[in-house]
Structure 1
Amino acid sequence: MLGGILIGLAVLAFFAYSRVCGGGGCDTDYCASGQKFSAPEGYELVSKVFELNAKKAAAPDNSNALVQLPLKSATTDQRNLSFYQYVASTSSWETLAPAILDPQGKMASATLQETPAIIAVMRRLLPSGHVAAYLPHNAPLHRDAVGRVTLVHTFDFAPAADGTVTGELSGITSDGSFAFYPVISVKAGDKGAIPTVVSILGDAATRSNHVLQIVNLVNEKKLGGINIAYMDLPADQRTAFALFISELGQRLHSQNKLLTLTIPSPIVVQGRVDEGAYDWAELGKAADVLAISPLRDQSSYRNDMPRVLEHLASLVKPSKLLLTVTPYATVKTVDGIETLRLSDAMARATRMSIGAGGDEKIVASSVVEIVGTNIDREENLSGIVWQPETATVAFTYKSGTPRTVWLENFFSVGFKLELIPRYKLGGVAVENASDDVYLGNIWTALVPFITSGQPILMQPNPADLLPRWTVSKGTIEGGERAGQKGRIKWSTPAEPGTYTIKLTLSDGSYYFENEVAVTVQPREARTPTATVTATPTN
C-alpha cells in the first residue's frame, strides 16, 4: 500500500546528492542496488532502484536533499512521475515527491526532506493519462474518484491588489495516489478580481513581486506545486500573462516544483481559432500541465472542439494538455450561457401547471388538464430528447425568450472523452469532482475510461426520455401512452380530498420527480328549478 506524499519543503539549505556510481565502484551518495525489487501493481520503474551509500556523510540537519537519478530510458513525458522510497518494515513503497525531468529527459530530480535508504523513480500507469480533479474549498472527493485521480486542485486562493495571495489551504490529505496542487484563481464573476490581476501584470516589478509571493506560498505550505487559473482576462493581457507564467515556471522549476494551469478554451471565430488573452505556445513552454476549460456552447462543441484541439496540439506537447469535462448542465439564452447543477436543470424540466376552473377550483368528477410547463410539445417545446448534433440530452423551454438546456451525463461525457485518444492528449480534468449529490454523476463514464483509455459511446434509450405521469386516484385519459407530449387530462375522483400528481423525467441515467398535492373540492349541489304547468282555459 502506498503511503502519504511528502510534497515540497521550504528551502533552508540544499545538500545535493549525485546520481549513480560508475564502473568499478560507487563513490556517490546513491548507488544502484543489488537487491531485486518490483514495482507495485499499476506502477512501473522508470529508473533503477538505488540505495543510500553508507560511506557518504548524511545530509546536514535542517536541510533539504536535492536528489537526481538517471532514468532507464530518456523521456519527455512528465505524467505521473514521482520519487518513491521502499519501507522495509512494511515491504511497501511510499510516495516522496513529484519527479522533475531535465530538458533532455535523461535525469529526474526531486527535493526531499530526508535521504531515504532505498529510492526509485516510478510512473503510475493509467491508460487515460492524468486524471485531474477540481474541488471547491475543503470539499471531499466523489466516492468514485477516490483512488482514481492523479492530481487534485482545490480552489483556495486569490491574488490581492498588493501582489500577495489570500485564502486558506484546504485540508486535503493524500493517500499517496495523487499530487495536490491548490488553485490561485480569478474569474469575471469575482468582484474586482480582473482589474486586480491586470494591475499586477501591467508592470515587470509587480509581476515579479507576485511571482515571489506565489513561490513563498508554495514553500510555506510545503507544496509540490501550484495551479494558476486566471480566467477571463482581456485580450490585451496576452503578452503580460505569458511573461508572468514564464517567470513563475522558471522559479518553481528551479526548486523542483510543478506549475499547472487552467486556461479558457480558445473559440472558433469566423473560421479561425481565437486564443484571446492566452498565448498557448508560450504557456506550454513554461507549464507542466495545461487544463483546457470546458467549451460551454454545445451547439458548436462537436464542430469547434476538434479544431481547437488540433490547433493546440500543434503548439503544445499534447501530453501536457488535459480536456476538461463537467458535471454541470448548460443553459443557453439570448443573453449568453449559464451553468446549472443537474438537479436544478431537471427541476425546471419537471415543472407543472394545473388547469383549474374559472373559480380556480378543481372539483370532483371533472376533467382537468395538467401541463408539463417546460416540456409541452404542443407549445413547440422539444421535451427531453437526445440531440445527435450535440451528443447530449437536452430540452428547450421558454421564459420570456427561448432557452436550451444541455445535460451532461454518462452519454454526453463519453462522446467528449473520445477526443482525448484521438488527439493523444495527456488526460482528463473534471471541473467539479466533489461528492455534491445535486451534480450529475459523470463518473459512470469516467471510470471505464480511466481503466481502459477508451470511452463508452452510447445513446440513451428514447423510451427512457419520455415523461411518465401518475395520479394517486382518478384516471389519466388515454392510458399509458398519454402524456408523452408533455400534458395529460386527469379525470378527478368522485370523492373530494387531497390527491397527488407526479411527473417523472429521466436524463437517460437517473429519474427525477416532481410531485404536486391537489385539493379536489366537492361539486356544488344544483338548486332544483321549479316547473310551472299552465292549465289551458276552455
Structure 2
Amino acid sequence: MANHVSRSRLRPLERAIETTLAGLVIYGLIVVLLIAGLLLPPISLGERLLAWDYERVSAQEGKVITLEDGAQLAILPEGVQGRTRIKFSIVPRSDFLEGSVGSDLLAGAENIPPWLVMKSPFYRIQFKGDVPPNRVVLSLPLPGDVNPLRTIDLYSWDGDTWVWLPHVIPPGDATVESNLNFLPASAVVMQTKPLQPSVSADLAPASTVPEQARDTIVEINSQGLYLDADGEIRGDLGALLRPDQSTTYIVIPTLRNWEEGGVVRSDLIDNMLIDPAARERHIQRIVELVVRNAYPGVDIDYRGFSPELKEDFSLFIHQLADALHQNQKLLSVRLEMPVQISAESWNTGIYDWTSIGMAADIVKIPVPTDMRAYEPGGQMDALLSWAVGEVNRYKIQLLISARSIEQMQDGTRHQIPYVDALAPFSRVNIEGGSTVVNPGQQVTFSLETLQQSTGIQFDPTSGIYWFAYVDPNGQQRTVWIENAASVARKLQYVAEYNLRGVAVQNLLGEDNDAQIWEVMRKFINLVIPPVENQFAVVWTVQDDAGGVIAQEKSDITAPRYAWTAPQQGGQYLIAAAISSDGGNSTAARSSVQVLVATPTPVPTPTPLPTPTPPPKSKPKPKPQRSEQPAPAQAAQAAPPPAQGNLPFDYGIQVDPRGNKAANIAHIQALGFRWVKLQMPWKEVEPEPGNYQWGMWDDVIGAYAGAGIKVLLSIPKAPRWARPPNSDMSVEGPPADPNTLANFLSQVASRYNGRVQAIEVWNEQNLWYEGGGAPMPPDQYVAMLRAAYQAIKAVNPGMIVVSGAPTPAGDVAGKAIDDINYLNAMYAAGLKDVSDAIGAHPSGYNCPVDADWRTVQDPSATSFRGPFDNRHHSWCFRGTMEGYRNVMLANGDGAKTIWPTEFGWAVSGNPHPGYEYARDNTYEEQAQWIVQAYQMAKSWGWVGTMFLWNLDYGVTAAGTELAAFSLLTPSGPVPAYAALANMPK
C-alpha cells in the first residue's frame, strides 16, 4: 500500500517532465553543455574555426611552413610551449607600400625610415595559442634587385616600430636567414643607405682637444675612470674634459677595468658580475655619474672577465642600458677582436655580440692588425659581412688606431706611435765621421738606417705603406705605417657597409700624420678621396741661437744632404725629419750637432786711450716721503662678458610634439647638429612655481642624448604673470621681468649640459607677441637684461640669443620696422646682455641672393610686395646685411647673427597672407635654402642657422606652417635631399 501511494505521488512530476516546454529546456541545457565542451580545452573548437587557416604546431615535431616564393618559417619543437598555431603569409610589396592591405599595416608603410628601402614582400607572421615559440628559423629569398649584398638587412614591423633582426646570408645562396629566440610579427628584406658618419676619439686625462678636432670629432671619450671594488667607480672627475658651449662635440666618459701599461683587473669585474648587489650598485653609480654631470651617456670598455660569466655580462649590459635609457642616456660598449674559425664564422669569446648589440646604442668593434686583411675580399670584408648580421650596422663604429703596427721577427705585433714608426729612417749620419769642420768645408749627411732597409713600399691592394729593416741586434722588423692613406682605406669600409662611423684611438694628443685631419673632415660628408703620400726628407740647419739658416728637401729614396759650413764659427744643428706630404708637415725628427771651427785672429796694435775730462758731480736729490696708497675697493661681481664669435653651424626647428625618433634620424640624415624647440612659458609654468617639466624632460633628453645641440625659444607669458587688463587674445610679456628671469633660471639650471642656447622671446616688434602692441625696445632690453643675468648666474656657459624681431615695416600699433627696432635695442644696452643676435630673415618670393633695392621678377603674379613696394624685409639678404650694419655701427661686430627662423614657403593653395608661396616652386625652395646656408657660412659673421621647419607638414598638415616644412604626409620635399647632399 505504501509503495502504491509513493508512486502515485510521483506521477504528476513525471507528467510535468514529459511536457513539451520542459523537454525543450532539458534539451537546451544538453546542447549548451555540448557546445561548452567543444569550445573549452582540449577541443577548443571556436579557436580552431576562427584559426582555420593557421598551421597547428606540435611540441613533438615543430613545423616548417613554406610559401609559394620559397620563404620558410621553421618552428623548432624545443621552442614550442602549449597550444600553438601559426599563420605565415605574404603581402606584395606594392600593396604594402600603397597601404591597401588594411589599417593595421598602414603605419608600417608610413614609418619606414628614410635610410631603409623595402626590397622584398612583407612577410606576415601571426600567432594564436598560449605562449609564442622561442626557437624560430626564418629563411627569405633575396629579391633580384638587391645590390650590393653587404648592405642588406632584415627588419620586422612590430606594430609600433621597425626592429632590426640578426641574420646571415649564406655564401652562394640567394636567401637571408635569421635564427631567433622569439617569434617576430613580420619580416622584410631592406636595402640600407648611408647616414652621416659619427667620428669619436679618446682623450687622455687632463689633455686638451686640438683645434683641428673641433669641426671633425662628434664624440670625445674622456679617459680616466675605472671600475673599483664592490661596484664603485674611481678616478679624478676634475681631470675629465668639460666642453664649453662653443664646442661641436659631445663628451662621453669611458669606464675601464684596465690601465695603460697595467694589468686587466678581471677580479673586479668578475666579483661585480657574480654579486647581484654589486652589479646593481655599479649600475646605480654609472647612472648617477652621467646624470649628475650631464653626460649624454657612458662608454664601457671591460675586458678579461671569466668566460663562465658571458651571460652575466650580457645581463649587466641589458640592465645598464635599461637604466640609462630611462634617463635618456646612451650606452656605448667596446668589444674585442673575434677569432675567425671559418670563412663565414667567428668566435666572439667572452662577448655575446648579438645580445650586447640589442641593448647598446653604440657598439665599437676593433679591426684586424694584419694589414693583409684590408685587401679586397680579405679578412676585413669577411669580418664586416658577418658582423652586420650580428649587430645593427647603424650601431657599429670601427675601433681604429692612429698608431702604426710593428711586427717582430717572431711574428708578434704591437702598436707604436707614428713618429716611432718613422724613427728608423731619421737617424742622421755624418759621412767622414767628424763633427768638427772648417769654414767653407762641404759636409754630406745621410740617413743610415734607410739604406739598410727595404725602403718605404706601397701595397696597392691594401692601400697601406710599409717597410722592413734589420735593427742593431740583427732582428728583422716590419712596420705598417698608419697614416692618411691607411686611415682612408679603413674609412672606406664605413661607407661600403653603411656603418655608424669610426672611433679613433691615439688621434688626440699624439704627433700623427697631419693629413689625417683633412681625410677625417671630408669623411664627415662621406667623401673619401684616395690619399697619395709623398714621402720626403726635410733637412734643416739651425745656428746656436735657434735660427733656421738653411732648409732643403730630398727624396726619401736618396736621403743625402750636402752642406757647406759657413764662415762664422760656432755650433750648428743639422736635423732631418720625415714628411709624408712633400714637406708641408714633418715627424720623426732627429739631429746631429756640428762645430764649425773659429780661425785664430791676426793680432792688431792695441789703440792708445784718449784722455777725457772727469765728469762734474751732481747733487743727489733728497729723498721724499711717499704717500701711503689708498686701499683698493673690492670689485663688485658682474655677469660674465658676452660671448662673441660663436661659430657657424646648421640647425632646424621641429615640432616638440612630433615624432622624436624620426626627427632625430632626419636631422642626422641632413647632417645638421642643432635643433630649435619653442618652449611656451605659459605651458610649463601655468601657475607660479608649478612646473610641468615632464614632456620637456623627454623631448630635450631625446635630442641631447642623440648628440644634437638644443636651442630653446621661450616666449608667451602665462596669464598669472601678465599685466592687469591684458588682452589675452594675443601673447604678451610679463608685468615684472623678474618673473621671466626666475623661470629662465630654472630652465638653464635644469637643462645644464643638455640645452646649449636660449632665445629670449620671439618677434617682440609685433602686436601679437607684445600683448596687443609692439613691445617698446627699452622694455624688451630690460626684460632681456634680467633674463641674461639670471641665466648666467646658474649656467655661465649658456648661449643667450636676443629675441629675433620679425622683418617688417612701420605699421601703427601693429609693427615696428625691425632694423629701427634693432637700433633702439642697441641704444637700450643690447650689446652687453646678449651672446648672439637673433634674426628671422624671411624670403617671401624674393631669391636668396637678390638685392631688395633692385630685384625684379615679372613671373611673380600672386604677390608683388618685393618688386612694387621695396623694403629690406622682403629679402633674406636685406634683413641679414641690414642687421650686420646695425651691429657694426654699435661696435658689436665681434658677435654673430643667429637666424633662428628662415625659409621659403611653397603652396599651390596658400592661406590668406601667404600668397607669395604660390609664386615659389619646390626647386626654387631647395636651391635658395642651400644657397642661404652657403652664403651665410662664407660671410663669416653668421652663427647657427635654423631652417623653419622640419615636420610641421606632418604634425600641422593643411596649415600655413606646412608650406615651409621639409616633410609632408607623402614624403620629403626636394629641399630635403638638397640639404642632405649639401657639403657641410
TM-score normalised according to structure 1 size: 0.63
Q: CA deviation at 1:516?
A: 1.7
Partner of residue 281 from structure 1, selected from 354, 363, 371: 354
Are 1:411 and 2:496 counterparts?
A: no
Contact kept in structure 2, 1:467 and 1:504, CA below 8 Å: yes
Q: CA deviation at 1:447?
A: 0.7
Partner of residue 402 from structure 1, selected from 467, 472, 476: 476
Higher mean alpha-carbon deviation, 317-326 vs 293-302, is at 293-302
Contact kept in structure 1, 2:444 and 2:561, CA below 8 Å: yes
Partner of residue 227 from structure 1, selected from 290, 299, 302: 299
**Alignment partners' CA distance in 2, 1:368 and 1:458:** 36
Are 1:173 and 2:232 counterparts?
A: no
Higher mean alpha-carbon deviation, 496-505 vs 144-153, is at 496-505
Q: CA deviation at 1:216?
A: 3.0
Partner of residue 212 from structure 2, selected from 123, 128, 144: 144
Give 1:315's aligned residue: 390
Contact kept in structure 2, 1:164 and 1:213, CA below 8 Å: yes
Contact kept in structure 2, 1:181 and 1:226, CA below 8 Å: yes
Query: Relative contact order (C-alpha < 8 Å, sep 6+): which is higher?
Result: 1
The one-letter amino acid paired with 1:431 is Q
Cα 1:413–1:499 change in 2 (3 A) is same
Give 1:185's aligned residue: 256
Give 1:50's aligned residue: none
Contact kept in structure 1, 2:406 and 2:479, CA below 8 Å: yes
Q: Write out per-residue CA displacement over residues 51-72 of structure 1, whole angstroms, 9 at most, x where no aligned residue.
A: xxxxxxxxxxxxxxxxxxx999
**Alignment partners' CA distance in 1, 2:257 and 2:114:** 29
Partner of residue 369 from structure 2, selected from 278, 296, 309: 296
Partner of residue 279 from structure 2, selected from 202, 207, 213: 207
Q: CA deviation at 1:367?
A: 9.4
The one-letter amino acid paired with 1:330 is I
Contact kept in structure 1, 2:538 and 2:579, CA below 8 Å: no
Gaps of 5+ in 1: 1-69, 79-101, 107-125, 474-479, 523-538
Q: How does 1:111-126 map to 2 (within 5 A)?
A: none
Partner of residue 160 from structure 2, selected from 83, 96, 104: 104
Higher mean alpha-carbon deviation, 135-144 vs 282-291, is at 135-144
**Alignment partners' CA distance in 1, 2:214 and 2:563:** 51
Q: CA deviation at 1:260?
A: 1.1
Contact kept in structure 1, 2:226 and 2:258, CA below 8 Å: no
Q: CA deviation at 1:145?
A: 2.6
**Alignment partners' CA distance in 2, 1:232 and 1:518:** 52
Give 1:15's aligned residue: none
Give 1:455's aligned residue: 528
For the aligned residue pairs, the C-alpha RMSD in angstroms reads 4.1
**Alignment partners' CA distance in 1, 2:517 and 2:479:** 21
SS of residue matched to 2:498: coil
Q: Write out per-residue CA displacement over residues 183-213 of structure 1, whole angstroms, 9 at most, x where no aligned residue.
A: 1113474335233223322444433332233
**Alignment partners' CA distance in 2, 1:168 and 1:239:** 31
**Alignment partners' CA distance in 1, 2:255 and 2:542:** 53
**Alignment partners' CA distance in 2, 1:197 and 1:517:** 53
Q: Write out per-residue CA displacement over residues 151-175 of structure 1, whole angstroms, 9 at most, x where no aligned residue.
A: 3321131000221011233242253
Partner of residue 512 from structure 2, selected from 436, 439, 448: 439
Are 1:427 and 2:501 counterparts?
A: yes
Contact kept in structure 2, 1:163 and 1:209, CA below 8 Å: yes
**Alignment partners' CA distance in 2, 1:353 and 1:195:** 51
Partner of residue 241 from structure 1, selected from 310, 313, 325: 313
Contact kept in structure 1, 2:537 and 2:559, CA below 8 Å: no
Contact kept in structure 1, 2:195 and 2:500, CA below 8 Å: no
Q: CA deviation at 1:74?
A: 3.5
Q: CA deviation at 1:219?
A: 3.2
Give 2:777's aligned residue: none
Contact kept in structure 2, 1:267 and 1:308, CA below 8 Å: no
Contact kept in structure 2, 1:145 and 1:433, CA below 8 Å: no
Contact kept in structure 1, 2:403 and 2:418, CA below 8 Å: yes
Contact kept in structure 2, 1:375 and 1:395, CA below 8 Å: no
**Alignment partners' CA distance in 1, 2:565 and 2:244:** 60
Partner of residue 160 from structure 1, selected from 228, 233, 242: 228
Contact kept in structure 2, 1:343 and 1:439, CA below 8 Å: yes
Cα 1:500–1:211 change in 2 (3 A) is closer
Cα 1:385–1:192 change in 2 (3 A) is closer
Q: CA deviation at 1:285?
A: 0.7
**Alignment partners' CA distance in 2, 1:424 and 1:238:** 29
Partner of residue 592 from structure 2, selected from 495, 516, 538: 516
Structure ranking higher in strand proportion? 1
Q: Write out per-residue CA displacement over residues 209-250 of structure 1, whole angstroms, 9 at most, x where no aligned residue.
A: 322332233333343321111145565543332222122112
The one-letter amino acid paired with 1:344 is D
Gaps of 5+ in 2: 1-106, 116-157, 163-193, 544-551, 599-984
**Alignment partners' CA distance in 1, 2:571 and 2:216:** 49
Cα 1:297–1:256 change in 2 (3 A) is same
Identity, % of aligned positions? 25
Give 1:196's aligned residue: 268
SS of residue matched to 1:514: strand
**Alignment partners' CA distance in 2, 1:261 and 1:323:** 12
Cα 1:484–1:293 change in 2 (3 A) is closer
SS of residue matched to 2:223: strand
**Alignment partners' CA distance in 2, 1:362 and 1:234:** 63
Contact kept in structure 2, 1:395 and 1:405, CA below 8 Å: yes
Give 1:56's aligned residue: none
**Alignment partners' CA distance in 2, 1:482 and 1:287:** 51
Contact kept in structure 1, 2:402 and 2:418, CA below 8 Å: yes
The one-letter amino acid paired with 1:172 is R
Q: Write out per-residue CA displacement over residues 483-502 of structure 1, whole angstroms, 9 at most, x where no aligned residue.
A: 85566596987989755544
**Alignment partners' CA distance in 1, 2:573 and 2:305:** 51
The one-letter amino acid paired with 2:234 is T
**Alignment partners' CA distance in 1, 2:469 and 2:291:** 51
Q: Write out per-residue CA displacement over residues 88-142 of structure 1, whole angstroms, 9 at most, x where no aligned residue.
A: xxxxxxxxxxxxxx99349xxxxxxxxxxxxxxxxxxx95332323322243333
Cα 1:483–1:285 change in 2 (3 A) is closer
**Alignment partners' CA distance in 1, 2:296 and 2:563:** 66
**Alignment partners' CA distance in 2, 1:287 and 1:191:** 26
The one-letter amino acid paired with 2:233 is V
Q: CA deviation at 1:278?
A: 1.8
**Alignment partners' CA distance in 2, 1:407 and 1:72:** 48
Q: CA deviation at 1:387?
A: 2.9
Cα 1:274–1:349 change in 2 (3 A) is farther
The one-letter amino acid paired with 1:285 is M
Q: CA deviation at 1:406?
A: 2.6
Are 1:465 and 2:535 counterparts?
A: yes
**Alignment partners' CA distance in 2, 1:295 and 1:163:** 32
Contact kept in structure 1, 2:257 and 2:264, CA below 8 Å: no
Q: CA deviation at 1:414?
A: 1.3
**Alignment partners' CA distance in 1, 2:553 and 2:280:** 68
The one-letter amino acid paired with 1:440 is D
Cα 1:353–1:295 change in 2 (3 A) is same
**Alignment partners' CA distance in 1, 2:481 and 2:312:** 37
Q: How does 1:375-386 map to 2 (within 5 A)?
A: 375-376=450-451, 379=452, 381-386=453-458
Give 1:352's aligned residue: 428
Partner of residue 203 from structure 2, selected from 119, 130, 135: 135
Q: CA deviation at 1:412?
A: 1.7
Cα 1:361–1:132 change in 2 (3 A) is closer
The one-letter amino acid paired with 2:450 is I
SS of residue matched to 1:145: helix
